Amino acid sequence: MSFRTDNETGTKPVGTALRTPFVARLSQFSWVDVAVAAAVLVLLYVVLRVGHGTTVAFNTHENVKVDTDPSRLPYDAARSLLRMFAALALSVLFTFVYAYAAARSRRLERILIPALDILQSVPVLAFLTVAVTGFIALFPGSMLGLECASIFAIFTSQAWNMTFGFYYSLTSLPRELDELSRSFRFTRWMRFWKVEVPAGMIGLVWNGMMSFGGGWFFLVASEAISVNNQDYTLPGVGSYAGAAITDGDLGKVGWAILTMAVMVIGVNFLFWRPLTAWAEKFKNEQSEASEVQRSYVLDFLRRSHWPRLLGRVLRPAGRVLSRAGRVLGTDDRPLSVGPSRQRAGDITFAVVAGGLILWGLFDLGRYLYDRTSLGVFGEPLLLGLATLTRVMVLVTLATLVWVPIGVKIGFSPRLTRIAQPVVQVLASFPANFLFPLVTWFLLKTGLSIDIGGTLLMALGAQWYILFNTIAGAMAIPTDLREAMDDLGVHGRQRWKRLIIPGIFPSYVTGGITASGGAWNASIVSEIVTFGGTTLTATGLGAYIAKATEAGDYPHLIAGVAVMSLYVVGINRLLWRRLYRLAEARYSL
């Protein structure tokens, strides 16, 4: 008689037989997986705990005083972060839908892109004037109405830059990727997620980072709202800083500045740095770079089993969405929004759209004529020239200073690791936190606020050019840079043959958003208040800020309309021509 072991008979021990594949995977989990799970649970708890404060009762007829006790700052910081990320999620969704519609339809492109010019020129305070009234009416007696208005205001400071960048990446898709999509007969859903989004991912991440910084810049305006002589405040770092500035308490302003710096650095380390390192995989190149972006958080997540397990769980849902995407049709034509032969449908669309626009302008003119006169446009038109001068000086100086620096940072992963958190802090830091220091400096030196206001506008707008230049430099394939090195192409020839064609499309996106951002920043930069001292510059931004605070809707509408006119005119005369030049000559 012979005996066989379990291995020889093919049977398994009882304990092993009871172990399912899922349990087997759980047995492979390490302390890294436990740490990731704990972090996710803590994050969910904080979101639920902080989110509970957004639904408390609220009386719109009472002015709420902000508690400036420094012990409140952790809770205020969490509330501000929740609003910022909610606005970022809305901005990404808006970017995908709006940019895709504008890029895929010639007719919609003729309406959506000029509308985007106007939307980015409308000041955040003007959006707030409408949003506060609307959301309070939608959620009466609840803090949720003010929260939605604040998130919407932050959204309006984030979405336009991201939409412009992604729209351009869709319209300048590399020819080989376009041909690949059509030859494999991808559905439009597959083309979007497998071709178009990956091709624009690097620019989308960096523009998202810049837009997030733009949200920080307007945090005070979106959390401490003054409309029609009624003050509305929400718990947050922005409202805390605004109250401390109004009280003239430099000590509490310092606590707000420290909290903001910690928030910006923390978000950069835990969120943006991993995203920029992850986006390296979407670089369109044939040879891998010797140095790549690294992130400790991303490396830590890659060691965890949770992402792979989550991917397996979501895979069936992905298949269902892919099959459902077939109803959108097959990608059977190239992406193109260029000029083409006019059709009867195009003429009909133009007549209908033009008629609606003219009707809106006529109704606006009648409203202003009934309440004042059409001469209300005279003063903002003249004041707009002063602000226009500041904007053009700002964009010119920002180009000369930040384009070479952005190229240097984008070409060096090692330098990017060092410079990114520094640039992120500088770009994200709200300039109005520095108003007390600026006011003190201007009073001591006797420098005019007309010049000081330009410097404050630069703090909020110049970073669009830097971030887009970095994104454009990072997107240049490594093999092209190595080929230039092998051929000995340096100096002016390297800029002419490689750098300018590589970064020019991204620079144009940065320039158009920097210009619009500068106009928007003029609202908070041309009036500086600290304690009992107020300095006012001559310009359209100060005009709109005064009209908003006083609830003077005719002058507010006139100011916003004139600002929109200036922005759209500059975009049409300058930036749109540069866009066409980028498409025709300066592309890789």
DSSP string, 39-64: HHHHHHHHHHHHHGGGGSB--TTSPP
| CA–centroid distance for 92 within its chain | 8
Distance CA 374, CA 259 (A): 47
Q: What is the pLDDT of residue 52?
A: 76
Indicate the pairing of strand 533-536 with strand 527-530: antiparallel
Burial class (CB in 10 A: 0-12, 13-18, 19+), 529: middle
Helix count and strand count (H, E) for the chain? 29, 4
Handedness of CA 280, 286, 292, 298 (dihedral sign): positive
Which whole-number Å values give the CA distances from 375 to 251, 467, 550, 552, in the listed order?
A: 46, 41, 20, 15
H/E stretch holding 184 reads none
Q: Are 360 and 564 in contact (CB under 8 A)?
A: no
∠ Cα 184 310 274 (to 5°): 85
The amino acid that residue 504 corresponds to is F
Beta bridge mates, 535: 528
H/E stretch holding 528 reads strand 527-530
Backbone phi, then psi, for 142, in 5-degree steps?
A: -125, 145
H/E stretch holding 269 reads none
Burial call 492-519: b when 16+ CB within 10 Å, e when fewer: eebbeebbbbbbbbbbbbbbbbbbbbbb
pLDDT tens by residue, the chain, 588 residues: 444 444 444 444 544 444 455 455 555 667 777 888 888 888 888 888 887 777 766 665 555 667 778 888 888 889 889 999 999 999 999 999 999 988 888 778 878 887 887 777 666 666 666 677 778 778 777 778 888 888 888 888 788 888 988 988 888 777 777 777 777 778 888 888 888 888 888 888 888 887 887 777 677 777 877 665 667 788 888 888 878 877 777 778 788 888 888 888 888 888 988 888 888 788 766 555 555 667 788 888 888 877 777 777 777 776 666 666 665 666 665 544 444 445 555 566 566 666 766 676 666 666 666 666 667 788 888 988 988 998 898 899 989 999 999 888 888 877 877 776 677 667 666 666 666 677 777 777 777 777 877 777 777 678 888 888 887 888 787 778 878 878 887 878 888 888 888 888 888 888 887 887 788 778 777 877 665 677 788 888 888 888 877 767 778 788 888 888 888 888 888 888 887 787 777 655
Confidence (pTM): 0.71
Burial class (CB in 10 A: 0-12, 13-18, 19+), 218: buried
Q: What is the pLDDT of residue 373?
A: 67
Neighbours of 296 (CB within 10 A): 12
Handedness of CA 177, 179, 180, 184 (dihedral sign): positive
